[in-house]
């Protein structure tokens, strides 16, 4: 059986009975567990961010809800990107940045009359 993890902090949820109660919380970070972000049907970019076509709309995807279609998914937690990965992504997007900033111009050069 696959181990479920908290959608917010990645803590293993070994001791939480499944299906999760509406009031279930992560033992480590106290985040609600019966939430859209931990559900198998959660998918951004589609109507109501849910692949279940007859589920009622839930506005806050990180708060406990009463959805009867909730089914926890094991890969809901995503590790945060590291600084190096983020920097490379930004460099690729914006064409890289100079390693050292340009030296500031002397005040005389800025205010000199021609």
What pTM value is reported for the model? 0.68
- The predicted-structure confidence for 11-42, as pLDDT tens digits, reads as follows 999 888 888 999 999 999 999 999 999 999 99
Amino acid 103: pLDDT:
60
Amino acid 95: pLDDT:
79
Q: Does residue 70 or residue 83 have the better pLDDT?
A: 70
Amino acid 65: pLDDT:
96
Contact 52, 42 (CB under 8 A): no
As a whole number, the mean pLDDT across the chain is 86
Cα–Cα distance list, 9 to 4, 55, 90 (Å): 12, 26, 25
Amino acid 60: pLDDT:
96
């Amino acid at each position: 059986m696959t181990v479920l993890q908290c959608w917010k902090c990645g803590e293993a949820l070994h001791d939480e009975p499944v299906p999760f109660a509406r009031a279930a919380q992560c033992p480590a970070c106290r985040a609600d567990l019966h939430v859209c972000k931990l559900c198998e049907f959660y998918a951004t970019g589609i109507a109501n961010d849910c692949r279940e076509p007859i589920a009622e709309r839930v506005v806050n995807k990180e708060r406990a809800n009463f959805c009867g279609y909730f089914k926890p998914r094991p890969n809901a937690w995503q590790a945060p990107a590291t600084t190096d990965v983020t920097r490379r992504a930004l460099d690729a997007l914006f064409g890289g940045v100079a390693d050292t900033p340009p030296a500031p111009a002397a005040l005389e050069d800025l205010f000199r009359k021609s």
